[in-house]
Amino acid sequence: MKPGQKVDLSKWDPEDTRGWEKNGAMKKALKKAVARLDDLQYLMYAEKKHALLLVFQALDSGGKDGTIRHVMSGVNPQGCRVTPFKVPTAEEADHDFLWRIHKAVPGRGEIGIFNRSHYEDVLVVRVHSLAPKDVWEARYDQINEFEAYLAANNVTTLKFFLHISKDEQKKRFMERIDDPDKHWKLSQSDFNERRFWDDYTKAYEAALAKCSTDVAPWYVIPANKKWFRNLAVSHVIVEALEEMKMKFPPPSVDVHDLKWK
């Protein structure tokens, strides 16, 4: 998303695969990207100058968990942390909406992954009128300022909106109903929220338009095809890490002077 770009999600096809097909070439490209991500994470962990924050947002069943599981399958858990943001606790609700977010920002050398994020405060809060309009409207600028502050401190933020269709969501809900092993994922609230599909769409369009910046861009990922979703996200992450031009730090000792005892 270009900064200031007007967003109409109805013009973005969730089925789009940009010419890719589910075949051997696709699987090879995904495997290569996941392996490259592992190498780059190791380099970032060693250099300890940069941090990477990945934000995943989607409507219910949009594929946040699946994307994280598949794309980040090769990274070292020691340098990667996933934080899910659900309904704020009593303590979190007593602070400003970014308080719990800032605490979860990755340190230098680390990758932080947000499953939902600070954007819930301009999405669900807006849709369900959990705060006055003047409160949540002010948060767009506050979010941009926060993400600019992170960028100034070498935290690269990539934000992914996993874009699925309403029909695809229904299909995934039905698959969960038909599979006993997925019943644990079901909740009445997921089905209730479908009534607000259009309201959420408008809320997402506003967040994408107002909060995609040069230092913290939004990526709209066509996500009806899970395999393409994973491929696209992995390529964006790899490209961002390569743009950091990272290098291994110099050794603390001269290896030629090391002696066995």
- The string of pLDDT tens digits covering residues 10-65 is 999 999 999 999 999 999 999 999 999 999 999 999 999 999 999 999 999 999 99
Query: Residue ranges of the domains in the chain?
Result: 9-245
Nearest one of 85, 138, 77 to 111, comparing CA atoms: 77
Mean pLDDT of 161-172: 97
pLDDT tops 80 at residue 260: no
29-64: burial string, b at 16+ Cβ within 10 Å, e else: ebeebbebbeebbebbbeeeebbbbbbbbbbbbbbb
The CA distance from 216 to 148, in Å, is 7
Query: Could you count the other beta carbons within 10 Å of the beta carbon of residue 181?
Result: 7
Q: Output the CATH code of domain 9-245.
A: 3.40.50.300
CA 155 centroid distance within chain: 14
Residues 6 or more apart from 159 whose CB is under 8 A from it?
A: 55, 57, 117, 119, 211, 212, 216, 217, 218, 219
The CA distance from 218 to 119, in Å, is 12
Which amino acid is present at 188? Q
The CA distance from 186 to 191, in Å, is 9
Strands of the sheet with 111-115, listed across from one edge: 80-84, 111-115, 51-58, 155-163, 218-222
The CA distance from 50 to 154, in Å, is 5
The CA distance from 95 to 89, in Å, is 10
- The string of pLDDT tens digits covering residues 75-112 is 988 899 999 999 999 999 999 999 999 999 999 999 99
Cα dihedral 171, 175, 176, 177 sign = positive
Q: What are phi and psi of 138, to 5 degrees?
A: -70, -20
Tokens of 185: 């994922």
Please tell me the predicted confidence (pLDDT) of residue 188. 85
- The string of pLDDT tens digits covering residues 177-228 is 999 998 888 888 888 899 999 999 999 999 999 999 999 999 999 999 999 9
Please tell me the predicted confidence (pLDDT) of residue 186. 83
Q: What are phi and psi of 210, to 5 degrees?
A: -85, -20
Q: Is the pTM of this model over 0.85?
A: yes
Q: What are phi and psi of 55, to 5 degrees?
A: -110, 125
